[in-house]
Structure 1
């Protein structure tokens, strides 16, 4: 149920990039006994105790012009080599720019630390922030209301059409995450919306604040409450209870093909 609750929050996240901009990823290859932390410039990319992760992680927003640092704390596997790489993707081309490696059993069963520096051109990470006009804000609000109304009508076909430009934009540089979001929509959000108990709460147009960073416009509420949300669907199972709910605390948009559209990943 928790995955259902998070579905729309994930779907309505955003990206600050366009297809021809450069995007940087951290990718794990092989397997460790445990990965305790991976960080870029001190900001955690992976934190916890896992053995591996198949999804590349988008880290463009963690970077700065010039020298950057990739650090990792992990316990190597006794049988398998382990590698962490930084990838640069642009215009369909992928290039490796940094790599941390450890052969099998390098840490002898104890946590070890590794670090490497890499250089990023200023043009890759400096984004020009759009200036929003009244017309832009009016279009964004109209698109936002359209999303809410599609959910209220339980019209998943319309919702998918509204999201398609953002999905296609994400596919151009992060196809792995685009596939994940599509699965979330089909398997979790669709199931929740079609539940006979599903109901959107009334949408309020007052108190909305629209801000821009890079090429992304973010809609939030001045009071910090959700931009829109559904009533909770409560379930009982195994003597306990859980609930499913759409609760979008912010919704992000980008101009794609001359119009503003909801988009999928913030980086």
Structure 2
């Protein structure tokens, strides 16, 4: 990372939970490598973040990427609250959105690319299951490019809580809050900025106003790779029922549901996930360059 900064290349933070927990082997490693290559092709430097042997690593070599990918769910899932414990314990940790955001702020990185945000889980009125991603977004001055929030979540409640927390959500290439595998959520956004220079100006205005929250750029999955909402909702309902029967909760819910959706969709959900992450990487790298140009 020091060499990239010395060369004047803007940095783009990338999470590692997607590598360890979000996709199966070997697609996880292939996607991680492809995303880093896209960021470089767009003139920025990828900074995949993870905990390796008791140290926060900002920027991984290929050997570390492969270690994460092969380790899979054996790697600890590291959010903000888990960082100190993970460092104390050593071993391998894959940072979530909240963990990656916290580390990006420490490293002075302005742009973070991920797949989909965590948020308010379905049935949260009973379970109180709300992702730490949302509170971290409220205090992390980072521009986050994502395909909205994961389809398995309560999207209206997630968007409502982001508003309550003062986190602006800006449409990028679409007028609705993106729904991960699906382009349409039925939830309109108040602001849309498709051009990287305009996005950068918006981020700079947020900072000049002293507003510490992240700016979320909701960038939908490309139309050619999007899945129909009705089908996705059916798969999610079945996967949620299975999770309840098996007593799966907490951190294990999201990886379980994503894995079940891959099976129920015949691999189509994984293909959509790969497509949206690659698309987000391109948009995020262009934003990083525009922010650097904006000064």
Higher strand share: 1
Could you tell me the TM-score, scaled by structure 1's length? 0.27
State which structure, 1 or 2, has the greater radius of gyration over its C-alpha atoms.
Answer: 1
Greater RCO, CA 8 A, separation 6+: 1
Could you tell me the TM-score, scaled by structure 2's length? 0.25
